[in-house]
Structure 1
């Protein structure tokens, strides 16, 4: 037979229950503040071991190579419709998509340089999310331009002739 301690049961029966609320209705703006930086961003002392950043090949050394490959691939795609005098929808659409990714790489480099994650924290992520949204919207614009009109080269010819 199991006996309960009368002192413990009495205490637990008459103890007021304390509930904590999981969701607060007050907004927490502390994560939107800039992070405090030491002067010159010197962290620790000279004798501390160096902690290298995590290797990321896409955003590391290969990032510059990807940008240059896209830029060099755009040169013949840009010259072809004007030199041949004919419209090639495949060339037009490939050039348009490469142009969007070329611009995205440039803006991403600006965000990385001028809105660093170590200083701005969540604002850095928000800028990158905004860039991703703008890239998606631009790709949709390229789709509309290619399907409903004659493409970007026809648009350039009309603007040049106007």
Structure 2
């Protein structure tokens, strides 16, 4: 019985057509809401400038090739990421507390984190749209990397080191 009433109600609503927005707003005290949206629209970034540079027939600009961009960065990132695997496993598998290996692990983690965050800034903060914000983020990343590097150095030289700390936390 319920399914018969439900399908009849759906047919009645479907044949009635859309209800004008003014009718909905006047019949209830609720704020008008756009169709299919659950919240008000908020622009996170300012609108782009509405200007066209060049014509439709102009070719897309091709950047000058540079060895410091593109595949060399990707290859370096992959080598650093791949080197983290043996550097992480070796101290725990061998059972040695070599300070040189521990310092190399800390430096590799620091480089890996810096290049990863740098890639995020490059991808999501475009220079042509927000040049000052991009510069601020780059300097913030450099400062954070320097502070973390100094903290890791102090931790390695005056305390037990990264590997020993992980061992102690793991067995606690």
Q: Report matched runs for 1:56-75 at 5 Å.
A: 56-75=66-85
Aligned to 2:91: 81
Taking CA–CA contacts closer than 8 Å with sequence separation of 6 or more, which of the two structures ends up with the larger relative contact order?
Answer: 1
Matched residue pairs, number? 128
Aligned to 2:109: 99
1:51 aligns with 2:61: yes
For the Cα contact (< 8 Å) 1:34–1:121, is it kept in 2? no
C-alpha RMSD over aligned residues: 2.2
Q: Give the drift of 1:114.
A: 1.1
SS at structure 1 position matched to 2:129: helix
Q: Give the drift of 1:49.
A: 4.2
Q: Give the drift of 1:105.
A: 1.0
SS at structure 1 position matched to 2:67: coil
Q: Normalising by the residue count of structure 1, what TM-score does the alignment of the two structures yield?
A: 0.71
Q: Give the drift of 1:141.
A: 1.0
Q: Give the drift of 1:35.
A: 8.9
CA distance 1:34–1:94, change in 2 (3 Å): farther
Q: Report matched runs for 1:26-45 at 5 Å.
A: 36-38=48-50, 43-45=53-55
In 2, the alpha carbon distance for the partners of 1:66 and 1:35 equals: 36
Q: Normalising by the residue count of structure 2, what TM-score does the alignment of the two structures yield?
A: 0.67
Aligned to 2:119: 109
